[in-house]
Structure 1
Amino acid sequence: MAGTAVDPAVQRRILRVLVVSQVLSGAGLAAGITVGALLAQEMLGSTGLAGLPSALFTAGSAVAAIAVSRISAARGRRPGLAAGYATGAVGSAGVIAAAALDSPVLLFAALFVYGAGTATNLQARYAGADLAAPGHRARAVSTVLVATTLGGVLGPNLAAPTGDLAAALGLPRLAGPFLLAGAAYAAAALVLAARLRPDPLLLARATATDGPATTEDVPADPAAARIRNRVLLGAQVMVVTQLVMVAVMTMTPVHMHDHGHGTAASGLVIALHVAAMYLPSPLTGRLVDRRGPLLVGAAAGLTLLAAGLVAALAPADSVALLALALALLGLGWNFGLVSGTAIITDAAPLATRARTQGAVDVAIAVSGTTGGLASGAVVDLAGYPVLALGGGLLALAVLPALATTATRTRR
């Protein structure tokens, strides 16, 4: 039965806490993206394996997504998110140790653990929607996502200064951004553990049922089929956009490095990419709430196609065109994430929402792992333009399912 409406001031406070944590975690997330592939390339001496770091920390994020969602389902968002960021901080420390010891085995293990920060950064968007009204959920999700922009833009641009700090400490320069990542993830964990009260998921359950939700409502078969189809649709949109984004993003710094560009140039391109991933979120959320997630999901596929075309045709010495391609790549990913999240959040029953969201994020992480693993091999065998163009064409796979669902909805 319906419960008492949640005080809007509580939702605003929860969003403020989530915003602070996302600013911090965004710095940790983007720092690792900027130099992870370069660090592996330097330690392994192989471009073909340069996509392995991205694959490892996205694989780690898959495991972490399961853990964070289970903790959240049982005990609430606060302990789940705080534990995830704390684990990401531990992984960052492991990467620094691996670089200092020149140990590829330790590097791979640490990157796997570091992936917990990536999973938690994504799972935090669901916490923003727990108490939001149905017509404002996409905007609540976008508020949490856009907060990642500040840290995400700051992190890559601190690659050179943190590299100087690492060198001063006697560490490899490429370990520097992971110093920032470890501190940022640890701070995000502390903010959530101390300030995310009341817990949004637990309060949403209590408000919806006038008491804690302890049993699952089992819908009738037609309703269950509709829920399943909508969840699968939202998952497909996010899985495809994640795979394409990770594959192209991972190899762009390597592509630039191989053509004479320095860390500062690749850091700038990745910073613009991360900004495009998160900065448009308020507009995207408003579009989803007003025009529906199906239209925005279709825009994701078309935007990623444009990104692939620009990246494939851009001269290797053109930082401006590569930056444009990566900005379009980030924007397409943003369209896919916000629209897919809205589809799933609207479809999943509250009693099972956290577990459903966690399962979907596992699929997203696995797709990112696939993209990261395949990207280095594709570039090694066929070149960066083939990777970029292939990713853009693959993004069109979301369009048929979206068109079919739109047709069914109209009928």
Structure 2
Amino acid sequence: MTVDLRVPTRPDVAPIQRRTLRLLIATQIIGGIGVAIGISVGALLAARVAGVAVAGLAQSCGVVGAALLAVPVTRIMNGHGRRPGLVVAYLVGAVGAALVVLATVTGGVPLLFLGMLLFGGGTAANLQARYTAVDLAEPARRGRQLSLVVWATTIGSVAAPNFAALADGVTRGWGLPSLAGPFAFSAVAFGLAAIVLLLLLRPDPLLTARRLAAAEAGTRPAADGGTPLVADAGTSPVADAGTSPVAGAAPAATKTTPVARGAGMWAAWRVVRGRPAARLGIAAVAVGHLVMVAVMAMTPVRLGESHSDADVLRVVGIVLSVHIAGMYALSPVVGWLTDRLGRRAVILGGVGMLLAACAVAGTAGHHTPRLSIGLALLGLGWSATMVAGSTLLSEAVPAGVRPSVQGLSDLTMGLAGAGAAAASGFVMRVVGYPTLTLLAAIAVLPLLALALRRVPSTASVEEE
């Protein structure tokens, strides 16, 4: 697959953006390895240290940790730029992985839970990297460039579980207990990603975008390169149309809006609340993730009802591989469609695929090939809502508060996924898998209504 990294933008920005994209793709692969190699044995290790009863809870700590860590990480980004925020997130993930190794050695259950919580820093960094890709992107290429970073995660995520056994064998030779090795390698991977970003992510894309926005608005950036007075263009058809502004359209009134350094979640919510495009972006990301997690989490249990213990792991591996391919493999195509057809159109397409996935999986019974098709559609629906929703959100808010709004989105997404994972097991036990997919489909309907709602074309901010 040929990846087009050409960036048709101003001469001074184009080299920065190309270099940023290449660096993000490289670190996403490294970070994806760190996340996936640990997660691949996380449940087994937790069951060995803390017992089977709380193994799932230990895994959930990583999800919740990624969601909660989005808050301080985005505050750092808002005040100091993308580079320190991503570096801190990866370092927190490395510390978490090291604590999990220590918990394995000592048998400390509280230490294990703390380690898994901090391990979520690696996931938080991987998620925030997709937003870094659009800070300096041209409007007509934002979807594609964001999707390339999402796609790069696939390489590390798919390859890493296959190295878990090798990592475990190597570290056992160092005297570490069984299953500790993958987390030791996670710590190394996160640390390497942090070092690469610290040394090479210069100039910072967010701070550069803010300086350009301030210069174009006739304002002056802060002396330290931090938060300037941000030009809030207030209106632009770009976010909704997905292409360059309509020729002949009247320019929006421009005002200068001061944004406080390190603006928090409440400031982010105030911005989102007043912008329909931003609300749709956050809703698309959160609802798509909720539905995906709810159905995907219980699919192995569903397969276990019709396959023997000798076959179930092999079948689960195949079905989930098809699902992961749907999530990531076609994300560059989804990004291209996002730019070509528009953000809202792709979100609606994602909603359609999520509904189709619930219908196919819910009526598949114990027919594994049909269930695989349902999970592939589920992955595609997630990809569409994630890429198009993230792109729409990023361009719908001023640069000065953008990291906080993106952090709010990742926090909402993470908590929605954690809640769906927790609730799905109860629903599965009480009313079964078909009803679970029906409830997941019902959860999509508010997003459908929001996406179909007609709003003025002047619903977003265009600063670059």
**TM-score tier after normalising by the smaller chain length:** 0.7 to 0.9
Closer/same/farther in 2, CA of residues 34 and 327 from structure 1, 3 Å limit? farther
In structure 2, distance between residues paired with 1:263 and 1:170: 29
Residue from 249, 273, 295 that aligns with 1:248:
295
> For residue 280 of structure 2, what is the amino acid of its counterpart?
L
The structure number with the bigger radius of gyration is 2
Identity of aligned residues (%): 40
Question: Which residue in 1 is equivalent to 2:70?
Answer: 65
Counterpart contact for 1:160–1:264, Cα < 8 Å: no
Question: Which residue in 1 is equivalent to 2:339?
Answer: 289
Structure 2 residue 175 is the aligned partner of structure 1 residue 125 = no
| Structure 2 counterpart SS, 1:131 | coil
Residue from 271, 280, 283 that aligns with 2:330:
280
In structure 1, distance between residues paired with 2:21 and 2:133: 6
Closer/same/farther in 2, CA of residues 53 and 96 from structure 1, 3 Å limit? same
Closer/same/farther in 2, CA of residues 51 and 225 from structure 1, 3 Å limit? closer
In structure 2, distance between residues paired with 1:386 and 1:170: 48
Deviation at 1:35, TM superposition (A): 3.9
Question: Which residue in 2 is equivalent to 1:30?
Answer: 36
In structure 2, distance between residues paired with 1:386 and 1:326: 16
Larger relative contact order (CA 8 Å, sep ≥ 6): 1
In structure 2, distance between residues paired with 1:379 and 1:50: 18
Per-residue displacement from partner, 1:7-54 (whole Å, max 9, x unpaired)?
3122111100000001111222333444434544564333xx554344
Per-residue displacement from partner, 1:42-87 (whole Å, max 9, x unpaired)?
64333xx554344322221122111111111111111111110111
Deviation at 1:262, TM superposition (A): 6.2
Structure 2 residue 351 is the aligned partner of structure 1 residue 301 = yes
Question: Which residue in 2 is equivalent to 1:114?
Answer: 119
Counterpart contact for 2:77–2:85, Cα < 8 Å: yes
Residue from 387, 391, 396 that aligns with 2:436:
387
In structure 1, distance between residues paired with 2:342 and 2:446: 19
In structure 2, distance between residues paired with 1:395 and 1:127: 28
Counterpart contact for 1:89–1:114, Cα < 8 Å: yes
Question: Which residue in 2 is equivalent to 1:363?
Answer: 412
Counterpart contact for 1:59–1:366, Cα < 8 Å: yes
> For residue 294 of structure 2, what is the amino acid of its counterpart?
A
Deviation at 1:248, TM superposition (A): 3.0
What aligned pairs does 1:91-170 form with structure 2 within 5 A after superposition? Answer: 91-165=96-170
Structure number with higher helix proportion: 1
| Structure 2 counterpart SS, 1:129 | coil
Counterpart contact for 2:214–2:231, Cα < 8 Å: no
Per-residue displacement from partner, 1:132-155 (whole Å, max 9, x unpaired)?
111211111112111111111112
| Structure 1 counterpart SS, 2:97 | helix
Deviation at 1:214, TM superposition (A): 2.4
Structure 2 residue 195 is the aligned partner of structure 1 residue 215 = no
Residue from 27, 49, 52 that aligns with 1:45:
52
The 10-residue stretch of structure 1 (127-136 or 378-387) with the greater mean CA deviation from structure 2: 378-387
Closer/same/farther in 2, CA of residues 225 and 34 from structure 1, 3 Å limit? closer
Deviation at 1:385, TM superposition (A): 4.5
Deviation at 1:118, TM superposition (A): 1.2
Counterpart contact for 1:143–1:281, Cα < 8 Å: yes
The 10-residue stretch of structure 1 (91-100 or 216-225) with the greater mean CA deviation from structure 2: 216-225
In structure 1, distance between residues paired with 2:168 and 2:441: 33
Deviation at 1:287, TM superposition (A): 0.7
Question: Which residue in 2 is equivalent to 1:82?
Answer: 87
Deviation at 1:349, TM superposition (A): 0.9
In structure 1, distance between residues paired with 2:234 and 2:299: 48
Question: Which residue in 1 is equivalent to 2:448?
Answer: 399
Deviation at 1:93, TM superposition (A): 2.2
Deviation at 1:218, TM superposition (A): 6.6
Counterpart contact for 2:168–2:179, Cα < 8 Å: yes
Deviation at 1:279, TM superposition (A): 2.0
Counterpart contact for 1:51–1:375, Cα < 8 Å: no
5+ residue gaps in structure 2?
Answer: 1-9, 222-226, 236-251, 254-270, 459-464
Counterpart contact for 1:91–1:114, Cα < 8 Å: yes
Counterpart contact for 2:214–2:228, Cα < 8 Å: no
Deviation at 1:354, TM superposition (A): 1.4
Closer/same/farther in 2, CA of residues 355 and 19 from structure 1, 3 Å limit? same
Closer/same/farther in 2, CA of residues 396 and 41 from structure 1, 3 Å limit? farther
Closer/same/farther in 2, CA of residues 90 and 10 from structure 1, 3 Å limit? same
Counterpart contact for 2:64–2:414, Cα < 8 Å: yes
> For residue 230 of structure 1, what is the amino acid of its counterpart?
A
Residue from 348, 365, 372 that aligns with 2:397:
348
In structure 2, distance between residues paired with 1:219 and 1:69: 23
Closer/same/farther in 2, CA of residues 325 and 179 from structure 1, 3 Å limit? farther
> For residue 352 of structure 1, what is the amino acid of its counterpart?
V
Structure 2 residue 199 is the aligned partner of structure 1 residue 185 = no
Closer/same/farther in 2, CA of residues 59 and 17 from structure 1, 3 Å limit? same
In structure 2, distance between residues paired with 1:409 and 1:33: 42
- TM-score, length-normalised on structure 2? 0.77
What aligned pairs does 1:165-176 form with structure 2 within 5 A after superposition? Answer: 165=170, 174-176=179-181
In structure 2, distance between residues paired with 1:76 and 1:56: 27
| Structure 2 counterpart SS, 1:351 | coil
> For residue 379 of structure 2, what is the amino acid of its counterpart?
G
In structure 2, distance between residues paired with 1:267 and 1:169: 30
Closer/same/farther in 2, CA of residues 147 and 54 from structure 1, 3 Å limit? same
In structure 1, distance between residues paired with 2:381 and 2:112: 31
Closer/same/farther in 2, CA of residues 6 and 255 from structure 1, 3 Å limit? farther
In structure 2, distance between residues paired with 1:316 and 1:169: 45
Question: Which residue in 2 is equivalent to 1:9?
Answer: 15
Counterpart contact for 1:11–1:131, Cα < 8 Å: yes
